[in-house]
Amino acid sequence: MIQVNIRVYRADKHPDQCLRYVEGHRKVLEAYGVTQVTSANIDWMHEPFSYIISVESAEDHRPLGGARIQLCSGTVPLPIETAINDLDTNIYKIVREKGLHRTGEFCGAWNSREVAGYGIGSIILGRTCMAVIDKLNMGSLFAFASPASLRNCQRVGFRVLRSLGVNGIFYYPKEDLVATALIIDDPVEVAGATEENREKIRAFRENPIQQRLERGPKGEIEVSYDLHIDSDDIIKSPVELP
């Protein structure tokens, strides 16, 4: 059985591990013929407002997947802003409004082909993100989902942001691909999540260090979670919750 470790860390404190995450993401994108994607920009590595969810092999610590939670800092734009600003400038207004109550984006999610089909790149990372943003005191969170990940994003509480694009849909990152703009406005309650996922998110919040057998379409995978974030690593963004 495949065994993996999932943990969360502040990006600027672990530059070498960030680069491994970035390189793994790049290779996956290139395998699908995608060479230009805004979430692959690495400016976020140089300021303390991004957190990496890392998936590594328990055997030899090879990077097998991951995702990023990027807080709105006022200096580095969210990937969704850069991705669609030429297509719908309303994204700036919406991010600015949500930024009054601390917002960010769930982005850069990927998994290697080795673990494809076990749910890592979609539902597992999504649940992990929802557990973590509670600690980060988020008021909302954006996402920009491919068709393959849209359904699972909705299962953990995201809803389609229909005020953007064509009912939330854009042709991105190239004309023959589509992506959907998403948001979650209640990251504490996650009322839009399925009951099963709400229970699992709540369990992670109560006990961020645990082991689970997770089941995906290809079968079971053993996951060791460490979702603890030190209070010193939770940096206040320029715009705070009231």
Strands, E, within 72-103: which ranges?
none
In a 3-state reduction of DSSP, which class is residue 150?
Answer: helix
Look at strands 169-171 and 178-184 and give their pairing.
antiparallel
CA atoms of 68 and 18, how far apart (whole Å): 10
Q: How many residues does the chain have?
A: 242
Confidence (pLDDT) at 238? 54
The pLDDT, as a whole number, for residue 241 is 38
- Burial of 177 from C-beta contacts in 10 A (0-12 / 13-18 / 19+): middle
How far, in whole angstroms, is CA 242 from its chain's centroid?
A: 25
pLDDT confidence of residue 159:
98
Strand duo 159-160 + 104-111: pairing: unpaired
Q: What is the pLDDT of residue 35?
A: 62
Q: Supply the pLDDT for residue 240.
A: 46
Distances (CA, A) of 46 to 10, 15, 19: 11, 9, 12
CA distance 58 to 6: 9
Q: In 3-state terms, what secondary structure has residue 214?
A: strand
Supply angle C-alpha 182, 166, 183, rounded to 5: 10
Per-residue model confidence (pLDDT) at position 216: 87
Burial class (CB in 10 A: 0-12, 13-18, 19+), 63: buried
Residue 94: the pLDDT is 96
Nearest to 80, CA basis, from 50, 102, 106:
106
Local confidence pLDDT in tens for the 242 residues of the chain: 899 999 999 999 999 999 998 888 888 777 666 666 555 578 899 889 999 999 999 999 999 999 999 999 878 999 999 999 889 999 999 999 999 889 999 998 999 888 988 888 879 999 999 999 989 989 999 999 999 899 999 999 999 999 999 999 998 877 778 999 999 999 999 999 999 999 999 999 999 999 999 988 888 999 999 999 998 898 775 544 33
Q: CB–CB of 46/1 below 8 Å?
A: no
